[in-house]
């Protein structure tokens, strides 16, 4: 028999159970970024948890970020353990989630799978946002030296000195974005303590001593169990390597609105791509809003192709 229970604080035992479930899901789905001995991924930290238990085993979890996105909407994740799927547990979790949050809710569906679309339709959730995941192989990529606008110089990030400048540019560049626009100095400082953070892969563009843009790169460790996306054969033909390999990421490219249209975004992107290729990474990924047509066009010209879509489904008032 399935038991559903809301919890706001997880004790060590429940945290371990959630971590095990998310790690098992990563082995099948490639997401979320959970490790057997690490902390819960950021999108599952804090907030409220809806725990689904059957025969004393955690079979599913929904998480609600009650701090909300930049526009005050609740944001939820829902995961069923791979060993317990197609048993109605996802439906039960979704029903309880929508009953608890009937308004102002958005729910992520990673991979744009048919089952998620069916669940969303059943509970009246509307397709409201598409996050396009693109990738490119570095083998044979002919990325030129960045051509910076006149008077602009490029350097790398200095921890303890550049946080406020980056946050200021980020706020202006992403005032419209549901998540990125809320970056704070404390958030940035916390990320600097993460194992993956590398100041040498964090590029800043300056003009007259003022930071006007940045490209923050990231390197993901290998995930041998990651599934191959639909275009894995194309990825291999491009020299991208299997999706489970260590991969670089165009993590964030931000350009001050006053400097947009000058080619600075492309120059910053090239600087990061060349850095990731020099590190020997065979594949680079990025996330971009599906309706950001100009950005998608720039990335396509740099060789990126789409291979997956993450979708947010929303209650009607949050769509």
Residue ranges for the known binding site are 78-80, 179, 218, 249, 253-255, 260-266, 287
Tokens at residue 10, please? 């997880």
Whether omega for the bond prior to residue 199 falls within 30 degrees of 0, making it cis, is: no
Q: Left if phi > 0, otherwise alpha if psi is -120 to 50, otherwise beta: which for 66? A: alpha
Which residues have a Cβ under 8 Å from the Cβ of 86 and sit 6 or more positions away? Answer: none
58's enclosing H/E stretch is strand 57-65
Tokens at residue 201, please? 């892969």
Tokens at residue 7, please? 């919890």
DSSP 154-174: EEE--TTTSHHHHHHHHHHHT
**Binding site per annotation, positions for acetyl-CoA:** 78-80, 253-255, 260-266
Sheet holding 126-137, edge to edge: 2-7, 48-54, 57-65, 74-80, 105-110, 305-314, 126-137, 283-289, 247-255, 210-220, 202-207, 152-156
Residue for token digits 């992403």? 174
Cβ atoms 68, 74 nearer than 8 A: yes
């Amino acid at each position: 028999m399935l038991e559903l229970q809301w919890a706001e604080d997880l004790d060590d035992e429940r945290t371990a159970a959630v971590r095990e479930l998310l790690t098992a899901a990563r082995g099948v789905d490639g997401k979320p970024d959970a490790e057997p001995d690490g902390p819960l991924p950021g999108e599952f930290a804090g907030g409220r948890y809806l725990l689904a238990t059957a025969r004393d085993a955690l079979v599913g979890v929904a998480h609600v970020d009650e701090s909300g996105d930049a526009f005050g909407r609740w944001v939820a994740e829902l995961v069923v353990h791979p060993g317990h799927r197609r048993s109605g547990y996802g439906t039960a979790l979704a029903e309880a989630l929508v009953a608890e949050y009937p308004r102002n809710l958005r729910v992520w569906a990673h991979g744009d799978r048919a089952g998620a679309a069916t669940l969303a339709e059943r509970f009246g959730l509307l397709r409201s946002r598409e996050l396009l995941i693109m990738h490119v192989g570095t083998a044979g990529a002919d990325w030129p030296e960045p051509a910076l606008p006149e008077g602009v110089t490029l350097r790398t990030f200095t921890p303890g000195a550049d946080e406020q400048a980056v946050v200021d540019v980020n706020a202006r560049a992403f005032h419209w974005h549901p998540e990125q626009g809320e970056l704070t100095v404390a958030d940035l400082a916390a990320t600097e303590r993460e194992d993956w953070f590398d100041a040498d892969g964090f590029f800043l563009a300056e003009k007259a001593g003022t930071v006007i843009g940045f490209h923050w790169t990231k390197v993901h460790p290998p995930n041998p169990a990651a599934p191959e996306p639909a275009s894995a054969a194309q990825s291999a033909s491009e020299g991208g390597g299997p999706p489970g390999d260590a991969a670089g990421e165009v993590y964030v490219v931000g350009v001050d609105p006053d400097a947009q249209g000058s080619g600075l975004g492309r120059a910053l992107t090239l600087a990061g791509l060349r850095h990731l290729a020099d590190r020997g990474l065979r594949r680079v990924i990025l996330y971009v809003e599906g309706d950001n047509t100009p950005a998608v066009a720039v990335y396509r010209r740099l060789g990126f192709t789409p291979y997956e879509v993450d979708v947010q489904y929303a209650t009607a008032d949050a769509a």
